[in-house]
Amino acid sequence: MSPVTSTQLLQELRQVVPRNILLDSAEAMRPFECDGLSVYRQLPLLVALPEETGQVQWILRTCHRLGVPVVTRGAGTGLSGGALPIEQGLLLVLTKLNRIIDIDPLNRTARLQAGVRNLAISEAVAAHGLYYAPDPSSQIACSIGGNVAENSGGVHCLKYGLTVHNVMEVRLLLIDGECAFAGGAGLTDEVEPPHAPGLQWRETMVEIHGPVLADWQRLFAESWDRYAEQPLGLPAATPAAVSDGGKGRVTVNEARRRMGIQRSLLKQIKRAEHRIWFATAYFIPSWTLRRRLKQAAGRGIDVRLLLPGPITDHPGARYASRRYYARLLHSGLRIFEYTPRFFHAKTVLCDDWVTIGSCNFDRWNLQWNLEANQEIDDPAMAGAVAAMFEADYANSVEQTAEAWAQRGWHQRLLEWFWRRVERLSLKIRHRRRR
């Protein structure tokens, strides 16, 4: 492959990321020609300053396709020349990814983007009497990403350890950029309230690699092309097989045109032999789904529902779903209501089969929305999902048939009222569609 020129790389990147995050003139790139080891200097082909994680992914994927090497840079305070650009490469500067996602003072943890400065963490947690312990003398400028890469530490490391002793989890984006996430999380402040970190919604996302990515990309491009003015024009993805991967496929529901998620779920419920663990944010199931769940419980299968507790974004939907509790409990289902935060995850586990995605399996979802789920048929994945369910059950209140029968008239009235509202709104939508 002949070396790519700066103009070619710029042209390719402009198709996937905004022009203003790319620097190509020698003058603009000069401040990035070296890190703290300034005896070595080199201008790269191009400098990119992404503002969102998605842009990093597109940059990496494009460079990988063109065979362009990438050097990552935080604040550039490193003294070992690690952030020195490569002449034929791209310099990926992450200082604009500087958002503190949330702080959990009780557990003394914080989630951050890679470009957050050490001192910014200490400043943000000072009100709680805390500080970020690994404190290289460059902490006023250096970034957490650079700290992780260099395993940095200052005077406090004698007592509290180096970066490696203080980092609990790192999310990596690899150069091929080939991964997808499926699940119910929206990218809004409502899902992750910046000022109330304890109240972020309880979500489940699955990270996907391997050939099934081609199906996700096709689905994305298909939906985009149907509604956008300009087609997406993505090159066809051909992700390599993953050696230790399980079996998986994408299922889609699209109003009444495609019913893949629903059909597959009903089939798996019918086949299940041991367990059906069902988690959703809005439990307004169809008659068929309710019947299948009750039949399964009647066959002696462990059928459990994991649903939101009092914290929810749609109290009305919760009351409407509680209308079903009495009959389901009498049929032998177990019902858990999650209490710490709003439970917004959508996951079903039938024996060793798992489906995770955007679909709540409620009547609204199934009739009008475009939903996509990742199905996985793999005992190891099923084990991990079962452990996740167990952890959520431990944070939930279990409703029993006896206790449920004792609930007051006020509660019953609300259930009745919201059920009527739900039915009425379904009827209105039906009429409008005709």
Ligand X SMILES: Cc1cc2nc3c(=O)[nH]c(=O)nc-3n(C[C@H](O)[C@H](O)[C@H](O)COP(=O)(O)OP(=O)(O)OC[C@H]3O[C@@H](n4cnc5c(N)ncnc54)[C@H](O)[C@@H]3O)c2cc1C
Point out which residues bind ligand X (CB under 6 A): 35-36, 71-79, 82-83, 94, 114, 136-138, 142-143, 145-147, 149-150, 152-154
Minimal distance in Å, beta carbon 272 to ligand X?
Answer: 43
Q: Which of 2, 11, 93, 1 is nearest to 44 (CA)?
A: 93
Minimal distance in Å, beta carbon 179 to ligand X?
Answer: 16
For residues 82 and 239, give the distance between their C-alpha atoms in angstroms, rounded to a whole number. 30
Minimal distance in Å, beta carbon 73 to ligand X?
Answer: 4
Q: What is the 3-state secondary structure (H, E, C) of the chain?
A: CCCCCHHHHHHHHHCCCCHHHEECCHHHHHHHCCCCCCCCCCCCCEEECCCCHHHHHHHHHHHHHHCCCEEEECCCCCCCCCCCCCCCCEEEECCCCCCEEEEECCCCEEEECCCCEHHHHHHHHHHHCCCCCCCCCCCCCCEHHHHHHHCCCCCCHHHHCCHHHHCCCCCCCCCCCCCEEEECCCCCCCCCCCCCHHHCCECCEEEECCCHHHHHHHHHHHHHHHHCCCCCCCCCCCCCCCCCCCEEEEEEEECCCEEHHHHHHHHHHHHCCCEEEEECCCCCCCHHHHHHHHHHHHCCCEEEEEEECCCCCCHHHHHHHHCCHHHHHHCCCEEEEECCCCECCCEEEECCEEEEECCCCCHHHHHHCEEEEEEEECHHHHHHHHHHHHHHHHCEEEECHHHHHCCCHHHHHHHHHHHHHHHHHHHHHHHHHC
Task: Tell me the residue length of the chain.
Answer: 434
Minimal distance in Å, beta carbon 117 to ligand X?
Answer: 8
139 versus 399: smaller Cβ distance to ligand X: 139
Minimal distance in Å, beta carbon 277 to ligand X?
Answer: 37
Minimal distance in Å, beta carbon 207 to ligand X?
Answer: 18
74 versus 248: smaller Cβ distance to ligand X: 74
For residues 48 and 70, give the distance between their C-alpha atoms in angstroms, rounded to a whole number. 10
Tokens of 248: 């998986």
Determine how many CB atoms are found less than 10 A away from the CB of residue 361.
24
Whole-angstrom CA distances from 434 to 138, 213, 240, 381, 395 are 66, 36, 45, 43, 44
10 versus 149: smaller Cβ distance to ligand X: 149
153 versus 308: smaller Cβ distance to ligand X: 153
89 versus 145: smaller Cβ distance to ligand X: 145
95 versus 355: smaller Cβ distance to ligand X: 95
139 versus 264: smaller Cβ distance to ligand X: 139
74 versus 260: smaller Cβ distance to ligand X: 74
Minimal distance in Å, beta carbon 140 to ligand X?
Answer: 9
Minimal distance in Å, beta carbon 72 to ligand X?
Answer: 4
For residues 99 and 102, give the distance between their C-alpha atoms in angstroms, rounded to a whole number. 9
94 versus 269: smaller Cβ distance to ligand X: 94
142 versus 306: smaller Cβ distance to ligand X: 142
Q: What does DSSP say about strands 302-308 and 275-279: parallel, antiparallel, or unpaired?
A: parallel
Minimal distance in Å, beta carbon 150 to ligand X?
Answer: 4
Minimal distance in Å, beta carbon 269 to ligand X?
Answer: 44
Minimal distance in Å, beta carbon 28 to ligand X?
Answer: 18
